[in-house]
Amino acid sequence: MNIEGPVCPVPLSRYPAIVMAHGGGGRLMRDLIENAFISAFGAVGDRPAHDSAALDLPTARIAFTTDSFVIRPLFFPNADIGELAVYGTVNDLAMGGARPLYLSASFILEEGLPVDTLMRVVQSMSRAAADTGVAIVTGDTKVVEKGRCDGMYITTAGVGSLECVGTIGPAEVREGDTVIVSGDLGRHGIAVMAVREGFAFGTQIVSDCAPLWDPVQALLASGAEVHCLRDLTRGGLASALVEIAESAHIEVTVTEEAIPVADAVRSACEILGYDPLHVANEGRFVAFVRSDHADRAIEALRTCAVSADAVSIGRVTASGEGRVLLRTVGGLRPVDMLSGEQLPRIC
């Protein structure tokens, strides 16, 4: 479609679905930005729209991150791509000990996407941003032809102010540190797969998608010496631990029986041949804390609903070689990252 030349500016509401012109830089795109994005996210202060946003930052040290979100289906039990796009980036900031403040949001929309779907996602992003106290201050929209994208893709980038004393990261991990997970594992990955593939596992498993700044703030406020935090997204607990162990050159030993996994998730994993340690989460994280501060850390985490089931699962047992060991029924075995995605087995 070409809307060059004298075209009547049709309001967004007259188009039930996204057309190429919504990304064409003309009036239709401006309508979309005003009616969908600015009305939901708000303009930045009272300043007129401009190419970039000016930000006020409370600290000199900031954290900056970005993430892209491609997920099918767009809506799944307990969350959708919009919440995921906000919480995903907010959580990456929180894992560095940074209070999330500002986000950008860029959309790649597929021609034919129902405008109602876009509005639902944008509304849920708006709610998610309000819940976490971040402002979505800038963004971009492109439209691609039908069949060239899976409904919509969202990229968010985020800026946060570093409120922790010192650094939080793999380099700070010390031998003897206690390893804590903030809750049970695998809900998000199984929930999304169940909807995508049309599985019913008896009880409905809902995504754990949630913002993690509150529990991190509680943890930092408790005075516990926090060495490293990592959210357990793609690749699950196994990938997070292996990444930390390899980059910090430490040996982490965790106990299988101590790792919390809901019965419904475990059953689904048994059926499909998945390992819950590799299944994705969107509202869980692992914390490495000084061992004599572990009780204090767990107590602080348990004051937040999202981390009410926080529990110690193991500790850093040696330094030198980077590896993760799992204590099982029969003994110790190494834990590895997956080489690709988990594939359901035949029988």
Partner 1 sequence: MRFVDEYRSSADAQRLAARIADVVRSDWTIMEVCGGQTHSIVRFGLDQMLPEQITLVHGPGCPVCVTPLEMIDRAIAIASRPEVIFCSFGDMLRVPGSSQDLMSAKASGADVRMVYSPLDAVELARANPDREVVFFAVGFETTAPANAGAVEMARVQNLRNFSVLVSHVLVPPAITAILSSPDCRVNGFLAAGHVCTITGCLEYEPIAAQYRVPIVVTGFEPVDILQGVLMCVEQLERRRHTVENQYARSVRREGNPAAMAMIGKVMEVTDRTWRGIGAIPMSGLRLRDAYADFDAERKFDVGSITAQESPDCISGLVLQGLKRPNQCAAFGTMCTPEHPLGATMVSSEGACAAYYRYRRTPAAGAAQPTHAGHQP
For 323, the token pair is 């590896």
CB of 69 to partner 1, least distance (A): 22
Among residues 145 and 270, whose Cβ is nearest to partner 1?
270
Interface residue with partner 1, options 9, 171, 273, 305 (CB under 8 A): 273
Among residues 145 and 263, whose Cβ is nearest to partner 1?
263
Residue 202 engages partner 1 in binding (rule: CB under 8 A): no
Tell which positions 274-333 bind partner 1, by CB under 8 A: 321, 323, 325, 328-333
Which of 269, 310, 259, 243 lies closest to 187, judged by CA? Answer: 269
Is 288 strand, coil or helix? strand
CB of 331 to partner 1, least distance (A): 4
Report H helices in 226-335. 236-248, 263-272, 294-301
Tell which positions 100-129 bind partner 1, by CB under 8 A: none
Which of 52, 8, 44, 5 lies closest to 28, judged by CA? Answer: 8
323: left (phi over 0), alpha (psi -120 to 50) or beta: beta
Among residues 3 and 272, whose Cβ is nearest to partner 1?
272
Which of 316, 260, 252 lies closest to 284, judged by CA? Answer: 260
Cβ–Cβ under 8 Å, residues 251 and 321: yes
CB of 44 to partner 1, least distance (A): 42
Among residues 265 and 304, whose Cβ is nearest to partner 1?
265
Cβ–Cβ under 8 Å, residues 274 and 320: no
CB of 180 to partner 1, least distance (A): 23
Among residues 103 and 250, whose Cβ is nearest to partner 1?
250
Is 64 strand, coil or helix? strand
CB of 270 to partner 1, least distance (A): 6
CB of 264 to partner 1, least distance (A): 9
Cβ–Cβ under 8 Å, residues 259 and 284: no
Among residues 227 and 315, whose Cβ is nearest to partner 1?
315
CB of 256 to partner 1, least distance (A): 9
Interface residue with partner 1, options 270, 292, 295, 299 (CB under 8 A): 270
Which of 84, 94, 102 lies closest to 218, judged by CA? Answer: 94
Pairing of strands 75-76, 62-69: unpaired
Tell which positions 237-266 bind partner 1, by CB under 8 A: 257, 263, 266
Interface residue with partner 1, options 66, 68, 123, 267 (CB under 8 A): 267
Q: How far apart are the first and last CA of the chain?
A: 50
Among residues 61 and 72, whose Cβ is nearest to partner 1?
72
Cβ–Cβ under 8 Å, residues 87 and 283: yes
Interface residue with partner 1, options 6, 46, 197, 200 (CB under 8 A): 197
Which of 23, 22, 24, 28 lies closest to 9, judged by CA? Answer: 28
Instruction: Kindly determine how many residues on this chain lie close enough to bind partner 1 according to the rule CB under 8 A.
Output: 26
Which residues make up the interface to partner 1 (CB under 8 A)?
197, 199, 257, 263, 266-267, 270, 273, 321, 323, 325, 328-334, 336, 339-340, 343-347
